[in-house]
Chains A and B, each alone.
Chain A
Amino acid sequence: QSALTQPRSVSGSPGQSVTISCTGTSSDVGFYDYVSWYQQHPGKAPTLLIFDVTRRPSGAPDRFSGSKSGNTASLTISGLQPEDEADYYCCSYTVTDSWVFGGGTKVTVL
């Protein structure tokens, strides 16, 4: 199972919106609505931001939103905050009953 494709980095100024894409195949992202997104600050464990493509767990800020079209899922951060500077990963269920992660995207707040 190949890793999902994410841009290596994205950047934006405080208050701006940024979108991170996550491209898979018809065997993972395109097949299931089980796409989740994670935020990871340096030296810390990842935390869940979005699950089931669009849903936020309790405690996740509402400036984070998810969507999906075909084989590509997206995470949008609306109103970028300095504390949003971190690495972001997508994850999808696959037809082989396994999980696959994206390569990760570094978000820089300018």
Chain B
Amino acid sequence: EVQLVESGGGLVKPGGSLRLSCAASGFFFSNAWMSWVRQAPGKGLEWVGRIKSKIDGGAIYYAEPVKGRFTVSRDDSKSLLYLEMNSLKTEDTAVYYCTTEGHDSCGSAWGQGTLVTVSS
């Protein structure tokens, strides 16, 4: 069974940093293309960034609102996906989900999400 478990969320001040992790199991993580998706309170889903598998080149892509501030990375030896978030803004407050890009989709499987609150 595919399982994704996010962690690392919390309360951070504007301008601060946070690193989210996503522990994957139940599938061959090294071959998976992965994404981060967020959802602000009471709002819709917003794609944040993605990373291809190393065997497919390992390219990384970001949504415009987070480009230059967020970094997606992966540790295939530990089946972990990361989202490093710097220069956080209040508008980054959201539940952050990691997803697998199976079935040519932006999320064939989703974690339960981790809440990031950016507030002074």
* Chain B contact patch, size range: 20 to 34
CB distance from B1 to the nearest CB of A (A): 12
Inter-chain CA distance A1–B62, complex, in Å, is 11
A-B contact count (CB 8 A): 72
A100 interface contact, C-beta 8 A: yes
Query: Which residues of chain B come closer than 8 Å to A91, judged between CB atoms?
Result: 45, 47, 105-107
Q: Is there an interface contact between A51 and B105, defined as CB atoms closer than 8 Å?
A: yes
B74 interface contact, C-beta 8 A: no
Q: Report which A residues bind B (CB closer than 8 A).
A: 1, 3, 34, 36, 38, 40, 45-48, 51-52, 55, 57, 87, 89, 91, 93, 96-104
Q: Is there an interface contact between B105 and A103, defined as CB atoms closer than 8 Å?
A: no
Q: Known: A45-B97, A45-B112, A96-B61. Contact between A52 and B47, CB under 8 A? A: no
Can you list 22 pairs linking A and B with CB atoms under 8 Å apart? A1-B63, A36-B106, A38-B45, A45-B113, A46-B97, A46-B107, A46-B110, A51-B105, A52-B105, A57-B108, A91-B47, A91-B105, A93-B106, A96-B61, A97-B59, A98-B50, A98-B63, A99-B35, A99-B47, A101-B44, A101-B46, A103-B44
CB distance from A41 to the nearest CB of B (A): 13
Q: Is there an interface contact between A36 and B103, defined as CB atoms closer than 8 Å?
A: yes
CB distance from B87 to the nearest CB of A (A): 21
Q: Is there an interface contact between B63 and A48, defined as CB atoms closer than 8 Å?
A: no
Inter-chain CA distance A102–B46, complex, in Å, is 9
**6 nearest CB pairs, A to B:** A36-B105, A104-B44, A99-B106, A51-B103, A45-B110, A99-B47
Q: Is there an interface contact between A57 and B47, defined as CB atoms closer than 8 Å?
A: no
Of A34, A45, A100, A103, the residue contacting B47 (CB under 8 A) is: A100
